[in-house]
Amino acid sequence: MNEARVYADGFERSFAEVKDLLENAIQASVKTEPARRKINVEVYPHHNHLLLIHVENTFDGKIQQENNVFQSSKRSGNGIGIESVRHITDKNGGVCDFTYEDGIFSAKIMLRI
């Protein structure tokens, strides 16, 4: 499956951002010790016109950034998944924020629905 779809009250929208975030979370989490592996996903509507998405996952403690751009741990170059999420979110009038601390990576997205 290459696309995440959300259906709510007859409204359908493709959420490539969610797919990219989940793929990143899974790939990062499996690199951590089995006892520490964790992925938490929260998706909920806000004020009937916004969708809030929060994905938290464990990671191995190594995150590389260059000029505020995440660098991929899978290959040389930019972290295309995160940059794709930023691009799609911006293109659709949304906001995203990425933070990391103590082995936990957090991605928050707010989208209009």
What is the spatial distance between Cα 15 and Cα 2, in angstroms, rounded to a whole number?
A: 10
Global pTM?
0.78
Phi, psi of 90 (to 5 degrees): -60, -45
Residue-wise pLDDT tens digits, 24-73: 899 999 999 999 999 999 988 988 888 899 999 999 977 777 777 776 66
In one-letter notation, the amino acid at residue 87 is H
State which residues form the domain around 61: 5-112
Q: Output the domain CATH number for residue 82.
A: 3.30.565.10
Give the DSSP H/E element, type plus range, for residue 5.
Answer: strand 5-8
CA distance 71 to 82: 9
How many domains does the chain divide into? 1
Q: Give the Cα separation of 10 and 112 in Å (integer).
A: 16
Tell me, what's the pLDDT at 82? 82
